Amino acid sequence: MSDAFVLESAEAIGRSVLSRERSAGDVARTFLDRMDRTAEQLRTYLHRDREQTLAMASAVDARIARGERLTPLAGVPVALKDNLCTRCVPTTCGSKILEGYLPPYDAHVVERLREAGAVFTGKTNCDEFAMGSSTENSAYFPTKNPWDLERVPGGSSGGSAASVAAGEAPLALGSDTGGSVRQPAAFCGVFGLKPTYGAVSRYGLVAFASSLDQIGPIARTARDTALLYNVICGRDERDMTSRAEAAAVPLEDLERGVSGLRLGIPRDLIGEGVDPEILASLDRVAKALAKKGAEILDVSLPHARYSIATYYLIAPAEASSNLARYDGVRYGFRAKTDDLQAMYAVTRGRGFGREVRRRILLGTYALSAGYYDAYYLRAMKVRTLIRRDFEQALTRADAILLPTTPTPPFKIGEKVDDPLAMYLNDIFSVPASLAGVPALSFPAGMTKANLPIGLQLVGRPFEEATLLRVARTWESENADAARVPRLLSERRS
């Protein structure tokens, strides 16, 4: 198969495998060959196993030959972020402290994908323990943006987003705590969905901040995003926060258009510091959707401006608790010392990177005696106000339209030594995370410098279908939404 095949939709690939027009093995080999050519340029994967991928594909072909009924994702390659436990496959969370760790079980979403007949391409690079917005905090190496190799792909799911954007895999899973699916999707020009909190089981997702962590799909089209979401959503008894209300999105619903839908724009949140080209894209998309029959109105999210401060109290506090288990005793890296207390200290000091240590310290301080009420408890109260803002705004609007990020992708090294500047990059993604509502980043054009622009749709709980429907309407009228970057090797050939 030609290299153009890797640019086909996951939906088309799955259909061709189920009809036996192509074998899952041939599909897997095509994508593996693509990865071989782009691996050194992009560095999207922390672990790949060609033989294991081909064995999965062969098993799918055997299931089809036996007449088994499989899902539309049969034989479709899927990349997995390296914080999703995968049985007997290295799962490091981009950290030295888990180097060589082989989970004895699969995450719930990994189980679902195996049952569906998906084929795993490998474990993608990410910011250590999902803490970052650029994938520069990986303990191993930074991933590069396929649109510009001098720029970041976003984070923390940068490896997953870059892999999909570059045609290394048609689908990927990431995790989103404060924007870690949506922000890299925006930077790489693909779709990224953060489902409603509880719509997808977190069982087997290595925890960062348990009240915020979510698993979400990354894809090149709205329909592909829905296909992957449909496989992973739903109730799981092993995760008590998962909800039975989560339902699959009928693909036909995505083709209904936007006539009669009300889309709100929170102009009080979109203030100074937003790139003019992103603002222009927001206006352009709003006008295009209005021509399709949507009503555009202003909504207010008055407490959303406090989201960054609120998030960086709550998330580090939960991280300081969740990451206490990495002490060198049960699994992962262990420093060699003669004293037990020294072993704990040296193991965590050497095993965790700078950003992870920073957040553990922030969280431990916020939870400490004498400061709990002043910091963590107050942050939780503001979180309630932010959630109420969304509830009120979404009584007037069916979805909220706003930028995913304030700027296009920035250069590697530009913000890595300025934590505050890095944190502010999540100003538009964090509010929906705190509120627990679904949010979708979709490609909305390109800058004059040929860098992707992503816009975001936020909706009511368990109304992912509405967000995908709006994005599909825009996508169907704009060929730019499906553009794929030409990589350095291709430019030279």
Q: What ranges in 166-306 are assigned the alpha helix state H?
A: 182-188, 222-232, 276-291
**Residue 433 token pair:** 């995370």
Instruction: Tell me the residue ranges of DSSP E strands in 119-269.
Output: 119-124, 171-176, 191-194, 214-219, 262-265
Beta bridge partners of 123: 47, 80
Other Cβ atoms closer than 10 A to 302:
15
Question: Cis link prior to 156 (omega < 30° from 0)?
Answer: yes
DSSP 200: B
The residues assigned a catalytic role are 81, 156, 180
**Rounded-to-integer distance, Cα 128 and Cα 313, Å:** 19
Coil vs helix vs strand at 123 = strand
Closest CA to 398 of 457, 472, 474: 457
Angle separating helix axes 307-322 and 354-367, nearest 10 degrees: 100
Whether the Cβ atoms of residue 357 and residue 419 lie closer than 8 Å to each other: no
Angle separating helix axes 24-42 and 50-65, nearest 10 degrees: 160
Closest CA to 128 of 109, 142, 110, 116: 142
**Rounded-to-integer distance, Cα 105 and Cα 89, Å:** 10
* Spatial CB neighbours of 36, under 8 Å, sequence gap ≥ 6: none
Whether the Cβ atoms of residue 326 and residue 215 lie closer than 8 Å to each other: no
**Rounded-to-integer distance, Cα 343 and Cα 180, Å:** 32
Residues present in the chain in total: 493
